[in-house]
Chains A and B, each alone.
Chain A
Amino acid sequence: MTFDLVEVGHVAVILAFMLSLVGIVAPLLGLKSRNGAWIVLGRQAVTLIFLLLAIAMGTLIYSYLARDFSVKYIAATSNSKLPLFYTVAALWGGHEGSLLLWVFILSAFCTTAVWLHWRTQPATIPYLILVESALMFGFLALIIFLSNPFERMIPAAPDGKDLNPLLQDPAMVMHPPMLYMGYVGFSIPFAFAMASLFSGRLGEEWLKVTQRWTIFAWLALTTGILMGGYWAYYELGWGGYWGWDPVENASFMPWLVGTAFLHSAMVQEKRKMFKVWNLFLIIMTFSLSLIGTFLVRSGVLTSVHSFATDPGRGVYILLFLATVMSVAFGTLIARSPKLRSPIQLDSIVSRESVFLFNNLFFLVAMFTVFLGTLYPLIIETLRNDKVTVGPPYYNAVFMPIALGLVFLMGIGPSIAWRKASLENLRKNFLIPLFVGLGFLAVAAIAGIRSPLALGGLAVVGFVASTITFDFGRLTAFWAARQRVNLAAGFLTAFAKNQRRWAGLVTHFGVLILIIGIISSTIYQTEKVVSMQVGDQLQLGPYTLLFKEIRSVTGSNWTAQEGVVEVTRGDRFVTELRPQKRIYDVSMTPTTEAAIHTINMGQLFVTMPEVTPAGATIRALINPLVLWVWGGGAIMGIGVLLNLFRPKRDGT
């Protein structure tokens, strides 16, 4: 047998696993003996783990490209006909490779954090190394003993089984790494929080140091979730982007709690309140990140019985989760008497209290999702009954919560700390309140009857005007004070408090996103018809002519392609070509949507069925659906403005 590079990767992972023990023991000895050399050893260990895991990833990617089907995992997730781009991405197309990617990102972040904060946070570093190494130990043990992507088989498979065709898509290539960067990103504030708990230095330090890590993790997670939605939208061919699928929920739960944490951290920074609460939130966020990873990749969502086919893995995952959570929450409980905040809430009409309700809403939202996602698993375990919780449950519960949160989003940034006077309220909210009511009136006159749309528009109007008002007032203030024009005043106002404005930009993105969601779900037009070549279909103002059906061939698929000409009156709009594909290797059919954008909305056509006489055509108009992604992009810009703000800009 020739020398196989993939074995080098396997050895690298085993070495990394052993070094993670060094990463656990060295800082403990360092703390005990107060000898800095142990801590330096710990740093060398985590740095080496990162390099070793990089080698492991590299060799596995090389073996994918070399089409080495003697590696079980490669044979299960790729095929010699798979295009190059997806061959690399197939690495995270299954359980084993995803775990490797997860721990690789963890080691990269851990190493970065250790070197970055080495000088400024010497007291925290040992705990950081300890916590992160313990996590890496847990994951690497799972990889080596129970989910090994380097496992070989002899003889090698003649060819691979291929990557699930639905995953052969650019958005799906980036989606898992993004999500994982979010999940793993939260491990840094988590480790700092644990350091603060272990060491008993319970001030605000850990929050301030990890603020950018939190924001970065939140950005990655948000991007990952939105990418997943975008993928579902055009690849799954049902024209929606969020189906309350357990897999989606798994990534949404840490997002909800992470967002609550992001906000309540500000209260502690400014007012030294919510200390226990913030620690609770970050522990919760990271625990949900772990649960999210395992829910999606362990197969437990398919059925709890799939645990029975691989009991070791299931039991291990449960034990790992239980250990992390009981150590974290246990320490928090043990320390909580020392965490009493000396400052109390002054008034219920204050920014503190708005933040409190913001947190309450986010947590309730998380629990509703948690209940809907895990209730079926509990029922199946206890009663052996199969049950699902349908999207109507989530929609009915979630929409009011979301509108409540958006409403609070308008009040929070403008209301005074401690106790808002009537004057403060009147000055900030009277006009926006009327704008909101104005939106409501206009919408009602325009014929909108859905309570969700009406409520949504009113709240969006209110919040949009608080934001505009805020910007406007400070722009005018600085323009007058520095005797410059409004544009220069705007820039000064922005530069004076970039963090605040960046947050408002993100809030503005949320408004756009909400309008996109309301419009594309409530005002979607759908038609499904069996058509023969030459038939016409009227969809809203558009006429769809089914011109022909033909065969086309791609690199690893063949398809029946419908040609649909779209006209509006006499005017030609576009030609759409939905496909019904069959992938060569797995012989799986997929439905490829054809999309045309008009006025930020989209015409969405699929051909779900080809019959001897013609085809079934499903056509949708999704008004303003681009606002969903546009809103997401604006949110991202806001977060980037926050991340890359000049240091020391006041608050």
Chain B
Amino acid sequence: MSKGKKIGLIISIVAVLGGLGYLAYGNFGQNLVYFFTPSEVMAFAPDYYGKKVRVGGMVVKHSLKVEPGSREMTFELTDGAATIPVSFMGIPPDLFKEGQGAVVEGYWDQGRRFHSNMIMAKHSEDYMPIKLKQAGVEMPKKDFLRTLRPQ
């Protein structure tokens, strides 16, 4: 292979890698969703307003209200120290219940309310409802985000 061709090959490999790398890099940052507790949400700096985040906590008992005839509901999410109001539009997963742990995805608006259209429930090989319950209160940040999936 001549020198010129070799350079041509190297340039095309670099071009392909560069293009794909840029594609990956450009999309990576935008699609990172950070996870917070209600306490952290209450302490949000203004640049977090309107940004897509996930919040994990326990659904406060007797706080769940469903708008009759619609798919809208409101409830409160707590980590024991702080409580935030959540408006949700969509289908809650099978395991969503008052007094249970839940992770909501959405944004915190200036009106001091969390808007969400996705709630996640545990999806894992090990089925442990009681632990999940504790996890919702004690370790919302620690233990059960990554096995969650939209249902």
> Are A386 and B12 in contact (CB-based, < 8 A)?
no
> Are A530 and B69 in contact (CB-based, < 8 A)?
yes
What is the size category of the interface that chain A forms with chain B? 35 or more
Distance from A443 Cβ to chain B, minimum over Cβ atoms (Å): 23
Distance from A367 Cβ to chain B, minimum over Cβ atoms (Å): 8
> Are B144 and A344 in contact (CB-based, < 8 A)?
no
> Are A347 and B33 in contact (CB-based, < 8 A)?
no
Q: Give complex CA distance A76, B125 in Å.
A: 11
Among B27, B34, B123, the most chain A Cβ lie within 10 Å of the Cβ of B27
Nearest neighbor of A401 in chain B, beta-carbon distance: B20
> Are B127 and A591 in contact (CB-based, < 8 A)?
no
Contacts of A432 in B (CB 8 A): none
Contacts of B30 in A (CB 8 A): 392-393
Contacts of A275 in B (CB 8 A): none
Contacts of A161 in B (CB 8 A): 127
A367, A371, A588: the one contacting B95 at CB < 8 Å is: A588
A236 at the interface (CB under 8 A from B): yes
> Are B149 and A243 in contact (CB-based, < 8 A)?
yes
Contacts of B8 in A (CB 8 A): 348
Q: Give complex CA distance A385, B146 in Å.
A: 12
Nearest neighbor of B23 in chain A, beta-carbon distance: A397
**Which of A7-15, A181-189, A302-310 participates in binding chain B?**
A302-310
Q: Give complex CA distance A357, B68 in Å.
A: 57
A489 at the interface (CB under 8 A from B): no
**Which of B43-51, B76-84, B86-94, B107-115 participates in binding chain A?**
B86-94
Number of interface residues of B (CB under 8 A): 47
- Could you tell me which residues of chain B, from 49 to 101, have a CB within 8 Å of some CB in chain A? 54, 66, 68-71, 90-92, 94-95
B124, B141, B149: the one contacting A386 at CB < 8 Å is: B141
**Total A-B residue contacts, Cβ distance less than 8 Å:** 146
> Are B150 and A243 in contact (CB-based, < 8 A)?
yes
Among B17, B94, B129, B142, the most chain A Cβ lie within 10 Å of the Cβ of B94
A618 at the interface (CB under 8 A from B): yes
> Are A164 and B31 in contact (CB-based, < 8 A)?
no
Contacts of A353 in B (CB 8 A): 9
Proximity string of chain B (122-151) to chain A, C-beta cutoff 8 Å, 1 when within and 0 when not: 011111010000000000011111110111
> Are B95 and A386 in contact (CB-based, < 8 A)?
no
* A393-B31, A530-B70 known; A608 vs B91 contact (CB < 8 Å): yes
A228 at the interface (CB under 8 A from B): no
Nearest neighbor of A399 in chain B, beta-carbon distance: B23
Q: Give complex CA distance A439, B130 in Å.
A: 55
Q: Give complex CA distance A164, B95 in Å.
A: 13
Q: Give complex CA distance A387, B53 in Å.
A: 9
* A347-B5, A388-B35 known; A393 vs B28 contact (CB < 8 Å): yes
Q: Give complex CA distance A237, B142 in Å.
A: 27
> Are A397 and B94 in contact (CB-based, < 8 A)?
no
Proximity string of chain B (1-18) to chain A, C-beta cutoff 8 Å, 1 when within and 0 when not: 100010011001100110
> Are A238 and B151 in contact (CB-based, < 8 A)?
yes
> Are B27 and A303 in contact (CB-based, < 8 A)?
no
- Could you tell me which residues of chain A, from 248 to 305, have a CB within 8 Å of some CB in chain B? 297, 299, 301-303, 305
A360 at the interface (CB under 8 A from B): yes
A540 at the interface (CB under 8 A from B): no
Contacts of B33 in A (CB 8 A): 387-390
* A528-B90, A591-B94 known; A302 vs B151 contact (CB < 8 Å): no
- Could you tell me which residues of chain A, from 377 to 420, have a CB within 8 Å of some CB in chain B? 385-390, 392-393, 396-397, 400-401
> Are B143 and A302 in contact (CB-based, < 8 A)?
yes
Contacts of B146 in A (CB 8 A): 246, 301-303, 376, 386, 388
Contacts of B91 in A (CB 8 A): 528, 608-609, 616, 618
> Are A392 and B69 in contact (CB-based, < 8 A)?
no
> Are A396 and B23 in contact (CB-based, < 8 A)?
yes
Distance from A471 Cβ to chain B, minimum over Cβ atoms (Å): 30
Contacts of A237 in B (CB 8 A): 151
> Are B94 and A162 in contact (CB-based, < 8 A)?
no
> Are A360 and B13 in contact (CB-based, < 8 A)?
yes
Distance from B138 Cβ to chain A, minimum over Cβ atoms (Å): 12
> Are B144 and A588 in contact (CB-based, < 8 A)?
no
Contacts of B147 in A (CB 8 A): 301-302
Q: Give complex CA distance A609, B8 in Å.
A: 60
Contacts of B71 in A (CB 8 A): 528-530, 616
Nearest neighbor of A364 in chain B, beta-carbon distance: B20
- Could you tell me which residues of chain A, from 507 to 529, have a CB within 8 Å of some CB in chain B? 528-529
> Are A348 and B5 in contact (CB-based, < 8 A)?
yes
> Are B143 and A303 in contact (CB-based, < 8 A)?
yes
List 12 extra interface pairs beyond A236-B149, A371-B28, A397-B20, CB under 8 A: A164-B126, A299-B126, A306-B143, A345-B5, A357-B13, A361-B16, A364-B16, A367-B24, A389-B31, A396-B27, A530-B71, A613-B68
Q: List 23 A-B contacts (CB under 8 A).
A: A94-B125, A161-B127, A164-B124, A164-B125, A167-B125, A246-B146, A301-B147, A303-B142, A347-B5, A360-B13, A360-B16, A364-B16, A368-B24, A371-B24, A372-B28, A388-B145, A388-B146, A389-B33, A397-B24, A397-B27, A530-B70, A588-B95, A608-B94
State the A residues within 8 Å of B (CB). 76, 93-95, 161-162, 164-167, 236-238, 243, 245-246, 297, 299, 301-303, 305-306, 344-348, 353, 356-357, 360-361, 364, 367-368, 371-372, 375-376, 385-390, 392-393, 396-397, 400-401, 528-530, 586-591, 608-609, 611, 613, 616, 618
Q: Ordered nearest first, which 7 A-B pairs have the shortest CB separation?
A: A386-B35, A393-B31, A396-B27, A164-B127, A589-B94, A390-B31, A608-B91
